[in-house]
Amino acid sequence: MFNRSIFVLLLLLLSLTVTVPAIATQGGGGAYPNGAEDFMAGALPPPGTYLLNYIDYYSADRLNDNDGNKIMPGFKLDVFSEVLRVVHVTDKQLLGASWAMHLFLPIVYMDVTIPGVGADHRTGLGDIIIDPFILGWHGTNWHITTGVDFFLPTGAYDSNRLANPGRNYWTFEPVVAATWLTDSGFEVSGKLMYDFNTKNNDLDYLSGQELHLDYAIGQKLGDFNLGMAGYFYQQVTDDEQYGNKVAFNDGNKGRVFAVGPAVKYSVKNLSFSLKYLFETVAANRPEGRNLWFKFSYAF
């Protein structure tokens, strides 16, 4: 019981930190907003400039331990995020691929309640994401896109607060995304990522490396894509503090799987997508629900 109490306090007080636009704890979730991408995730668009707007509402009233058991009754978390993304695809080619770049600008609102610890809420700029070198290949029925996203520690952060729009460290994230689309309109898309984090110097805390995947499976029917989407997240290496492996829960590795219905509507130079994702088998992190809406406009 004593060890479990220590685990709960460290998990929550070390840094219950929200990033764009999903929930994450420093010990059990990463900088990337899991579930952000779905249909046609691997397809880089034609040369031009594109504006995307991601809106996400995440809610959780369950916090799980290393075995997936619910702890901390009365825990409550609500996060609302809006993220603007600008993508520019050049007319340049390299290795047979189109060259592109993008920028994410997140605004995050978080409201968290932890029984026996307190409550906090905060609104502010999150950690900006950039990638100046994205490459995209295209085939008859397939698309592949690669890049390395850089998460900049631009968001507000205070180690004494429960709610933080920023994470106070850098993340470097290699990405490979792919889409397979048959002539009849059946689609399988995925975006695979692997995160390398730097240390949060305010806590002398290093979050472990993370593997995660956004996915979508569906059928194109006219202007609509209908199907299911979700994400899988698994922390691969241990968290460290003061140069040593975090003792509790075998390094405090987080994991979660999510799935839910998804729909996308495209017309001319506009597209809209909506999905509602349910998390399950979460460990060392909250387990909740994720409502995503995405708007895309081609200039």
> What would the pLDDT profile of 185-202 be if each residue is shown by its tens digit?
999 999 999 999 999 999
Which pLDDT band holds residue 223 (cuts at 50, 70, 90)?
very high
Distance CA 200, CA 168 (A): 6
Which position has the higher pLDDT, 124 or 250?
124
Average pLDDT over residues 37-51: 96
Which pLDDT band holds residue 1 (cuts at 50, 70, 90)?
very low
Average pLDDT over residues 14-42: 65
Side-chain-side CA neighbours of 115 within 13 Å: the count stands at 10
Q: Which helix (H) or strand (E) holds 260?
A: strand 255-267
Residue 10 corresponds to which amino acid? L
Which pLDDT band holds residue 2 (cuts at 50, 70, 90)?
very low
Distance CA 181, CA 178 (A): 10
For domain 2-298, the CATH class is mainly beta
Average pLDDT over residues 143-151: 98
Residue 93 corresponds to which amino acid? Q
Which pLDDT band holds residue 133 (cuts at 50, 70, 90)?
very high
Which pLDDT band holds residue 211 (cuts at 50, 70, 90)?
very high
14, pLDDT greater than 70: no
Which pLDDT band holds residue 8 (cuts at 50, 70, 90)?
very low
Which pLDDT band holds residue 245 (cuts at 50, 70, 90)?
confident
Whole-number pLDDT of residue 22 = 33
Distance CA 170, CA 188 (A): 31
Whole-number pLDDT of residue 250 = 66
Which pLDDT band holds residue 252 (cuts at 50, 70, 90)?
confident
Of 173, 177, 172, 274, which Cα lies nearest the Cα of 218?
A: 274
Torsion of CA 91, 94, 98, 101, to 10 degrees: -90
Whole-number pLDDT of residue 117 = 87
